[in-house]
Amino acid sequence: MDLDLAPDPLLTVPGPSQIPPRVMRALMRVVDHRSPHFHKLYNDVIEGLRYVFRTSGDVYPITASGTGAVETMVLNFVKPRDTVLVPVFGSFSRRLVNHLRRVGAEVIEINYDLGVAPTYDDLRARVESMGIKQIDVLATVYNDTSPGLVFRDLPKVAKWIRSYGALVLVDNVSALGGDYFEVEPWDIDVAVSSSQKCLAAPPVMSFIAVASSEAYRKAESISHSSIYFDINLMRKFGEKMETPFTPAVNYLFAIREALGIIREVGLDNWIKWHIERGKAILNALTKAGLEPFVRNDYYRSTTVLSFRYPPDTNPDKFRKTVYKLGVSISDGMDEVKGKAFRIGNMGYLTRKDTLTLISAILAVMYNVSNIGDVFKEVLSYWEPQQLSVDEG
């Protein structure tokens, strides 16, 4: 069957994620972004974001990917020549270092071996052994999607780093809503995330949460060249429930709907769904003979699971064959590329979706001779003339 006529593949990549139908339907609405209707929409979205960030502070939507939110955080809360401590344990940790160096920060990298995440005891011991006297900022990724590691000891590290008077800036693009994360109880000053991961909303929107007056005071003292990513402008317009520039209004409607679903389910239950589903995927594929790339249970990511390719397997061919069976998975990035594939355990994946994912991977692993015919039988029901049917 021509891929153009086949149903869209199941999204089990580290974003974008599967989107509930009612969230997709919400995309069909647009209002004037300087109107009372928008003010209500903006307020609803902010209240929903406060709920998932676990903060009573300010949250601002940004029409940009998660990288845009990270850039906003760095531009507004890091000065040139600031001493910034960064634990580096994956591709996005290194990208954060790049952001910081571009604004002229003095970055202290604490590097970890491939597949190993920082712990409180190790990070503190290494910093103290280096005799570091000044730290202005701790900037870190919470959940690094390649290779699939989570910084579980962040709450303890954040409380310790306060002894230096440092701000705590966190990139949590890939785990907000999919794993436990609390801005205020964890002493985080600024955190960012995005829409298309565990919140099960369409891509193109990201968010920045500012939880402390110290962060705002620092932002007021920083001069940077960006207008679009200026937190002071966002704050000014946010006071009247608006954005400085035209946002993706219809996407905000979708995000409001997605956040509403999480409220209906309950954030703890939504997170538990991710955790239990991740365990099911991990256990099933491990029993089938695949080796998890991250061996340590403590800092293995909940929202991105990585597995070594089966022996004597061509990585590109493996993923492409899984894709032809209707499931999209990802290769590793940077030094993990070609060594492990990644599964995004994010957002709206049903039990049926999870079974489809595992079935497709196992079919390719064991080269089941007739599996292609079996899937074609299912796909054959999706003829072009049926694509106009409203499934509700």
Domains, the chain, ranges and CATH? Answer: 3-18+267-386 (3.90.1150.10), 21-264 (3.40.640.10)
226 confidence band (pLDDT: 50, 70, 90): very high
In this structure, of 18-22, 119-123, 387-391, the range with the lowest mean pLDDT score is 387-391
- pLDDT band of residue 373 (cuts 50, 70, 90) is low
Is the pLDDT reported for residue 57 higher than 60? yes
pLDDT band at 364 (very low <50, low <70, confident <90, very high): very high
**Residue 366 pLDDT grade (very low, low, confident, very high; cuts 50, 70, 90):** confident
Residue 167 has pLDDT above 70, yes or no: yes
Asked if the model's pLDDT at residue 127 lies above 50, the reply is: yes
pLDDT above 70: residue 165: yes
CA angle 250, 304, 9 (to 5 degrees): 60
Which of the four pLDDT bands, split at 50, 70 and 90, describes residue 255? very high
Report the predicted TM-score, pTM, of the whole model to 2 decimal places. 0.93
Amino acid at 9: P
Q: How much is the average pLDDT of 340-354?
A: 95
- Residue 383 pLDDT greater than 60, yes or no: no
Q: How do residues 282-307 score in pLDDT, each as one tens digit?
A: 999 999 999 999 999 999 999 999 99
**pLDDT > 70: what percent of the chain?**
92
Q: Could you give the percent of the chain with pLDDT greater than 90?
A: 90
Considering the chain, what is the average pLDDT of its residues? Answer: 93
What pLDDT band is residue 385 in, cutting at 50, 70 and 90?
very low
pLDDT at 263 over 70: yes
